[in-house]
Each structure stands twice: as structure tokens, then as C-alpha cells.
Structure 1
């Protein structure tokens, strides 16, 4: 049985073949979304007419019954449409952060790097925090993953106070979590602090004043999300922006200092944090999902 998995982000799409719940070695390919009018065109380019029986697609956006639309790209499609492209294949569509949540039990030791040391509670739920073109989270517990659209929630007051201390009234435009913690949000923060327009990665490596504020805000957000999601199994950062930000020399110290030390008998004070280094993690999660069906 031939299976294909896809991770469709706002900027790039990754695809691979899967067998027996794992990726087929050497089959992962990257595609620039700007080069294709629709995802169906990416799918056709990858498969090149090969027979496909099953497809699992992880998307950057909410998954609605019968139809999906990406949050950060004007692409929409449904399972029936994609199945027709593949000649009648069975199609499953899941959220991309949910896919990473499904992948957590299968990630190799070298696929994650420690950011904050701690002790994960056996059987505890784990929080996946995705930072890239957009922002979102998922909560993994055993073989189940709960969905969210955290990026569209209002900015927590603790985070806003960090911004207000540095920006004053100029903090007002940052109304949602994604407006600050996605790539465009980092660039907006840099401009608000008086910096010139530049790519996010350049800000991370070359604008320490901006990154000090950004990391402090991220630490405040993680503290709030600890109460929201109780991630006793740990927090896993995922995405290109996340890897760059939490890899900064002082990021781990700021995140560790923001953990909850004074409530619930210290239960939340030792939550470990990692960063997922494997770009194919969502694909691995899709492969695992196919094997569960």
C-alpha cells in the first residue's frame, strides 16, 4: 500500500512517502509554495503519476469538516478533491501542530535539543509551540492530540506589560498572540522599537535589544500557557523562528526563570523545555496517523 504524507506551511511544503507508520528514507522533498498556484499542483508534482492509496496532509490552519483553508496562504482544498487528484486515494487532513504532537513519541534523541532542563512527569501531557510564518500550539497526551488556534487569542496581560514597559502606547497594535510571536510580529516589534525593516532571521542574530524584549515576552507567554495547558510532560518548541529564538544564549535562562515556582506545591516549577530540530517532524506525525487508521 503506497502512502504519501505532506506538511503544508505558509511558505513551504514538505512531502514524503510513508510505510508502516514511518517515513520511507530518502523520499522527503521540499517545495516552495510561491511556485505553485494550488496544493493540488504540488501534490501532482511530487507523485508524478505514481499510484497512491493513502494521503495524510498537515496544514497550517484550522481543519474544518469537508474543507480547509490555510491561515497564512490563500490555499483551500478538501479531502475529496485531493483524493480525486490521486485517483481515489483515502485522504486525511490534520493540523500541522497536531501532526508534531503525534510525532513526539517517535522522535529520535538527536531530533530534539534541550532548552530548559527539568523533569517530565510520566504520562503528562506535552505542549507543542509552533513559531514560524504563524503561531499555534497543540497538546499531546498519549496517542491523542488536542487542537487549538492559540495564535488568534488575545495577548495575555503579562506579555502586554513587557511590551508596554518598552513601547508605551506603541504596544497597542499587538492585540493577538500571533501579531507578536509569528515572524511578522517579530519584524513589527523591531520597527516599533525604532529598528529598520529586515528579515526575521537577521533580527534574531543582529538586533540584541529587540531580542531581549522578544524573549522576555515569550517567557511571559510560556508562563501563561503553563496555567492554560498544564504541560507536565514538557514544552516542545517547533518551527524555524522557534529554533532561532530559543537557541539564543540567554533564552533558556529567561524561560527557566519564568516557570511557575510559587504555586501548586512546585508541580509546575520543573517543566522541561526542548526545541524540535527535525524539519520532518510533522511528516513523521502524519505517517503515525495513517498507521492508526
Structure 2
């Protein structure tokens, strides 16, 4: 009987919460997931030590996915003043082997390890060769993407900071919107619009532009759109149109014939509305390359723990 795979610690560090679990191979252990509020802890190292004390676990390896850039073994959180590097991670967890990933990279590694039912197809696209490039787009508190390539050495998910590229604008109204949602700065980013806070900013601009300024939270806007509230519906229509444009740009940059995968809480929330709010039209609006856009399948990752599964898969594939 083959020996059990070594125990691994995997974590998904967001702006508000950190989730930590244990895994063997690519599989998360049932009942081992813990969630910690970042504001209740002085550092990420403190959370990791608390988890190990809570569970009594002694993992052999650890991998963290964090919402921010990772470079040369150092991770920097974007929306919280926390940094971590590989030597610090090893000391905090007592492991011999460790990895740091951007959270969208982790989603990319998860694609081949997600449980059945975790992926839902929105549009079929065209059949693609095994190992075709895939693109993951994450929409939540922020926005980012990762491209997943497969070659002779295995799979590799690239890191990026796509949320901070310039927001596409095509009209005077777009420019006015960009100025408002960026707080008046010269650089409006994709994340300024395509995120939970971005949905709220778009709603604020639209209602102000209409002479009826009104603040609403992202869940309120989504609920209002479902209920047929005009301002909420118009906000969602604008959000979906921008998402279609940006996703189409990313598709042309990466050629993901293996599929485009939407992830994150906002990504999952807007996915059912894409067909009725103009996503396909905005996605395909690429001039002489419009026909090519139909080749890319579009799916949504329904699994909330995908980043944790991706960390486990990364350790299993690189061990």
C-alpha cells in the first residue's frame, strides 16, 4: 500500500480574511479549514502560528496565495500592510519546503485539481488541444488575471497585476466615468471599475450623472438588478460591458483556447447575468478579429476554496 502524501499547509490571504487548510497531495483535508480576521492579528506569521496551535498540525510543506505581487520569493499584500518572504514562512510554520503565489496563480494551478461540479460552463467555444492555454480572471475586492501554460515541464501559471492596467475608454462619457471612479487621478485602472468597490463606484457615477446621486453596496446593487431596479440594472450593464471589453483584450493577449475562467465572489455573482447584459457583444467587438473571439470557452469557478486547492496542487507538482 503506497505511503500517504506528506501533510501540507495551504493558505489564501485576502485583504480582510485569511483562510488556512491542510492538504495531502492535491486534496484538502475535510474539516481542517480555518478562517481568521486579519484585523485581529498583528501579522501573517501570528495567524500561521495560531493555526498550528489550534490544529496541532506539523506540516512538511507550506504554500500561501496572497492578494498582491510576489517577486523573488517575497510577497507584498496590496490592500493591507503585510509582507512575507520564504525564509519567514518556513520559520513560522517549521516546514522544509515553501511556496508563495499570487492568488490568481493559485487559481490557475487549481484548474486541473478542482472537484467535480466546481466548474460551470457559460459558453462552449471551440474544441481545443489538450494542454491549450487557459486564462483565469479574478473579480472580488480587486481584479487580476493569470495565464496557465502547459509544456514538457508541466504547468505554469504566470503572475500579473492586470487590475492596475489602464481602463479602456471610448467616449466622452467613458472619460468622465473614469475620472470620477479614479478619484480624479489621471490613471483610472481596470480594478477601479471591475471589482466589488468598482461596482459601487460605477453606481455612484451613473446616479450622479442622472441627477439622482445614490450610494449602494455591491450586494444591494446586485439584488436591485435582479429585482429590476433601473439604476442597478444600468450599473450592472455598464460593469458587464467593461468586463467584456477587458476580457476580450486579455484573450487576444494570451489566446486561451483552453478556456477563460471567471473566479472570485464578484465573478461568480455576475456570471449568470453576462448573457443578458451584453458581455458577448463587448467581448467580440475586436474588429477583424471578432470571429476569433468565438473560439474561447468561458466558464466560472464555483468553488470558493479554489486558491487553497491551487496551493496544494502547486506543492504536489513541484515537490
On whether the aligned pair clears a TM of 0.5, the verdict is yes
Distance 1:253 1:193 in 2: 16
Q: Does the 8 A contact of 2:63 with 2:311 survive in 1? A: yes
Using the TM superposition, give the Cα deviation of residue 256 of structure 1 relative to its aligned residue in structure 2, in angstroms.
2.4
Q: CA offsets, 1:152-178, max 9 Å, x none?
A: 11112xxx227x44x663432441111
Q: Residue in 1 aligned with 2:71?
A: 64
Aligned ranges 1:1-293 → 2 under 5 Å: 1-48=6-53, 49-122=56-129, 123-142=131-150, 143-156=155-168, 160-161=169-170, 164-165=172-173, 169-173=176-180, 174=182, 175-194=188-207, 195-206=213-224, 207-248=232-273, 250-251=274-275, 254-260=278-284, 263=288, 266-292=291-317, 293=319
Deviates more, 1:196-205 or 1:274-283: 196-205
Cα distance change on mapping 1:234 and 1:37 into 2, 3 Å: same
Deviates more, 1:184-193 or 1:128-137: 184-193
Structure 2 residue ranges without an equivalent (≥5): 1-5, 183-187, 208-212, 225-231
Structure 1 residue ranges without an equivalent (≥5): none
Q: CA offsets, 1:112-161, max 9 Å, x none?
A: 122223234123211100001111000012211122110111112xxx22
Q: Does the 8 A contact of 2:61 with 2:95 survive in 1? A: no
Cα distance change on mapping 1:252 and 1:137 into 2, 3 Å: farther
Distance 1:99 1:141 in 2: 13
Q: Residue in 1 aligned with 2:228?
A: none
Residue-pair matches, total: 287
Deviates more, 1:265-274 or 1:8-17: 265-274
Q: Larger Rg: 1 or 2? A: 2
Cα RMSD of the aligned pairs, angstroms, is: 2.1
Using the TM superposition, give the Cα deviation of residue 252 of structure 1 relative to its aligned residue in structure 2, in angstroms.
6.0
